[in-house]
Structure 1
Amino acid sequence: MINVLLSQIQEKVLLTDQDQEAIATFFISKKLRKRQYLLQEGDVCKHLAFVAKGLLRSYNIDEKGNEHISIFGWEGWWVSDLNSFLSGVPAVFNIDAIEDSELMMISLVDYDRLTLAVPIMDRYFRILFQNSLVTKERRLMSAISHTAEEKYLNLAESNPHVIKRIPQNLIASYLGFTPETLSRIKKNLALKR
């Protein structure tokens, strides 16, 4: 699993052999079974997790019991309740596995130690956080300016390999509408083709 992580890091920054050896010492591996929690709302998020294999979701549940998915995390993605991880406050998100998954995880103490021991990792994480911010800004703009059909098409076009792995009710939750609305959209799209 560490090789998957190192390969993903190498896509963003150049690592020496010494950097790679050092990085490996800061991470622990964890396997999750389908439907197993990595984090539950109200707990403090103790780790930043890299998805080496599998598929996870981060979500919260409102007072009416409706689930709202904020992100899906598949191979090469990082998942966490970042505010909880960085500040130690209770998490507002649940994170669980949609598929059996394998993760590489780092604690906040080790995260800080890693960025001091391997300075290029500070740049790597800055790039990740910048990309995450851009993604969230685009998702917010989509939520307020696109139709339901446009939201679905954007997701399907940007992630065709992953969308096939995600149950339709979870896709609907992520896009902010009901499974019935998603079925209607898919039916209308099929009729247009």
Structure 2
Amino acid sequence: MLMIFGNRDIDITIFIEELKKRVTVSTGEVERFAQLWDHREYKRNEFIQRAGTVPRFSMFVLDGCLRQFLVSENGIESNVYFAEERHFVGDLPAMRNNLASAYNYQATEASQLLTLSRENWEVVFSRFPWWAEAHMKGYQKWAAAMQQQLADMQLRSGEERYLDLLKKRPSLFRRMPQHYIASYLGLTPESLSRIRKKLAGN
């Protein structure tokens, strides 16, 4: 489905599909809901939101890929999440409570996003009651994935974590630099390289 943002027709089909996976809602209702979102484009490596600032919006990825990461006091980056097409992403607690976020969000390739401002978050919950259910289902799924990721760091070997990510999200290995993947897996680039060479030789 095409929708006009500014003076451009933007295909929001996958946005509608993702919402309908979570709740039963008409296409017309979703279209009215989408009118409260904005369309934004980012270049490869462009920052979308920086740590230390209050997030201005949450995001849905229409096209492209983002990384969510932390930076330690000594400047070491730790990737905690990769958002490809169909992913909702953002620091909602910081945004909704008007607090500075600890996270950075960066486009790792040219990306198109739908964004929902802090002000419109309050509007959609009052105007579209079904959004609360849709949001909660997605948030619970994300929280479970983050908890599993933390557990895997403690309980599974680097090779097991690598194989699991390769099975679940193979596209990341075509889209992300190896050092980003290594950081996400809690490995050094050298360790990841050794794992890949070992498995390639089997």
Deviation at 1:124, TM superposition (A): 0.2
Contact 1:22-1:118 within 8 A present in 2 as well: no
Moved more, 141-150 or 109-118: 109-118
CA distance in 1, matches of 2:31, 2:143: 30
Contact 2:38-2:115 within 8 A present in 1 as well: yes
RMSD: 1.2
Alpha carbons of structure 1 residues 179 and 113: separation in structure 2 relative to 1, 3 Å: same
CA distance in 1, matches of 2:45, 2:153: 27
Q: Does 2:100 match 1:100?
A: no
Deviation at 1:13, TM superposition (A): 1.2
Q: Give the structure 2 partner of residue 22 of structure 1.
A: 32
1:73-112, aligned counterparts within 5 Å? 73-112=83-122
Give the fraction of aligned pairs with identical amino acids, expressed as a percent: 28
Alignment: residue pair count: 192
Deviation at 1:3, TM superposition (A): 2.6
Q: Which runs of 5+ in 1 are unaligned?
A: none
Q: Give the structure 2 partner of residue 176 of structure 1.
A: 186
Post-superposition CA distance 1:134-174 (Å, at most 9, x none)? 11111111011000101111110111123221111100011
For 1:153, the aligned partner's letter is: L
1:179-190, aligned counterparts within 5 Å? 179-190=189-200
Q: TM-score, normalised by structure 2?
A: 0.91
Q: Give the structure 1 partner of residue 14 of structure 2.
A: 4
Post-superposition CA distance 1:27-50 (Å, at most 9, x none)? 000001001111001111010100
CA distance in 1, matches of 2:43, 2:17: 24
Contact 1:44-1:88 within 8 A present in 2 as well: yes
Q: Which runs of 5+ in 2 are unaligned?
A: 1-10
CA distance in 2, matches of 1:170, 1:19: 39
1:39-78, aligned counterparts within 5 Å? 39-78=49-88
Q: Give the structure 1 partner of residue 153 of structure 2.
A: 143
Contact 1:51-1:77 within 8 A present in 2 as well: yes
CA distance in 1, matches of 2:178, 2:27: 43
Q: TM-score, normalised by structure 1?
A: 0.95
CA distance in 2, matches of 1:84, 1:17: 31
Q: Does 2:141 match 1:131?
A: yes
